[in-house]
């Protein structure tokens, strides 16, 4: 579970970094297809596309955060890992146990 949460955090950081790549994406796109044309090509087109670029990235980050926000509450599932049972005699994962008690207060452990 921790591995998966770490990957989600990594994904969010990578997507956030994409905001910094706008200039190169815009320049490469313009080199491939030419400058913007039509109704949307008025005023500061580059600034309009930068705003759209950042808006899409912010929307992605919000959706990812919403989608995975409750997964941190499932930390107690680590208690079910049979490969770790032998180690529980020496070190018991109290954070996972606390997660279980928060998620299921009726467990009364």
pLDDT tens column, 3-56:
777 888 999 999 999 999 999 999 999 999 988 887 666 778 999 999 999 999
Reading the block at residue 56, the tokens are 């899409």
Q: Does the reported pTM lie above 0.85?
A: no
Using alpha carbons only, what angle is made at residue 67 by residues 63 and 73, rounded to the nearest 5 degrees?
140
Reading the block at residue 21, the tokens are 């790549």
Asked if 104 contacts 84 with a C-beta cutoff of 8 angstroms, the reply is: no
């Amino acid at each position: 579970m921790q591995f998966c949460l770490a990957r989600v955090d990594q994904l969010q950081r990578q997507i956030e970094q994409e905001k910094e790549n706008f200039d190169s994406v815009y320049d490469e796109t313009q080199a491939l297809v030419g400058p913007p044309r039509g109704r949307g090509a008025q005023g500061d087109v580059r600034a309009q596309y930068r705003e759209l670029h950042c808006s899409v990235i912010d929307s992605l980050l919000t959706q990812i955060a919403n989608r995975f926000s409750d997964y941190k509450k499932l930390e107690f599932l680590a208690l079910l890992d049979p490969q770790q049972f032998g180690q529980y005699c020496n070190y018991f994962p109290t954070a996972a146990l606390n997660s279980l008690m928060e998620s299921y207060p009726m467990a009364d452990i």
